[in-house]
């Protein structure tokens, strides 16, 4: 996904049990696992609070999200593989059967197998403008009328969503 002229490489791991964890890569290609996704998959009712209360190291990274027709990127706390395992082992709730095995057998090896991404995810710069850059229709070969139609359509969808 392209966000603010940067490509955010993200892979989502999912299971039959409806566990989903997004993974992004740092500059060296090391995988970082979305802490909120890990806590949600573990079964925490309030995953944000569970992550926030954790004293383990959390790294802020840009992660893509999608909700209906809307999508974007936002800063989320992520765990390294070792920190994620420590978070899971220190859980204050009863884990669903097979969760730890899924993490150890599929998620961590799968993320490491992705290798070094061509364009790694980057941490957001403080005070940086995170708005989506709209391409110039003249440079991209599109017409101004087409771009106006797209903007009107996006506004109608936004209005419908907010109503």
> Which residue, chain included where needed, has tokens 């383990």?
56
Give the tokens for residue 38: 């890990």
**91 and 163 part of one domain:** no
Per-residue pLDDT of the chain (163 residues), as tens digits, is: 444 434 557 888 988 888 999 998 887 888 999 999 999 999 999 999 999 999 999 999 888 877 788 878 888 899 999 999 999 999 989 998 899 999 999 999 988 887 554 444 455 566 655 554 555 545 555 677 788 888 888 888 888 777 7
Reduce the DSSP state of residue 113 to 3 states and report it.
Answer: helix
Residue 6 forms part of a structural domain = yes
Q: Give the separation between CA 76 and CA 146, rounded to whole angstroms.
A: 34
Query: What's the full length of the chain, in residues?
Result: 163
Eight-class DSSP state of 142: -
Residue 32 in tokens? 């970082």
Q: Are residues 91 and 162 in the same domain?
A: no
Instruction: Please report whether residue 72 resides in a domain.
Output: yes
Residues 115-148 have pLDDT tens digits of 554 444 455 566 655 554 555 545 555 677 788 8
Q: Residue 42's pLDDT is what?
A: 93
Question: How far apart are alpha carbons 85 and 7 in whole angstroms?
Answer: 27
In a domain, 161, yes or no: yes
- 29 and 79 inside one domain: yes
85 shares a domain with 19: yes
Report DSSP state, residue 104: I
* Within-domain flag for 50: yes
Domain count, the chain: 2
Burial (CB count <10 Å: 0-12, 13-18, 19+), residue 46: exposed
Enclosing domain of residue 68: 2-113
Cα gap 150→158, rounded to integer Å: 12
Q: Is position 119 within any domain?
A: no
In a domain, 56, yes or no: yes
Query: Do 73 and 9 sit in the same domain of this protein?
Result: yes
Q: Is the dihedral of CA 60, 114, 21, 89 positive or negative?
A: negative
- Say yes or no: 57 and 109 in one domain: yes
């Amino acid at each position: 996904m392209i966000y603010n002229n940067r490509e955010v490489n993200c892979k989502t791991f999912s299971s039959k049990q409806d566990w989903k964890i997004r993974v992004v890569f740092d500059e060296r290609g090391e995988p970082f696992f979305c802490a909120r996704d890990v806590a949600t998959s573990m079964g925490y009712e309030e995953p944000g609070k569970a992550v926030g209360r954790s004293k383990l190291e959390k790294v802020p990274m840009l992660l893509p999200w999608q909700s209906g027709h809307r999508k974007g990127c936002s800063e989320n706390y992520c765990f390294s593989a070792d920190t994620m395992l420590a978070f899971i082992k220190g859980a204050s709730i009863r884990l669903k059967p097979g969760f730890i095995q899924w993490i150890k057998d599929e998620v961590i090896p799968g993320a490491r197998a992705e290798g070094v991404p061509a364009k790694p995810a980057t941490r957001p710069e403080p005070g940086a403008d995170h708005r989506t850059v709209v391409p110039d229709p003249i440079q991209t070969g599109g017409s101004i009328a087409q771009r106006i139609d797209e903007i009107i359509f996006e506004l109608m969808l936004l209005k419908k969503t907010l109503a």
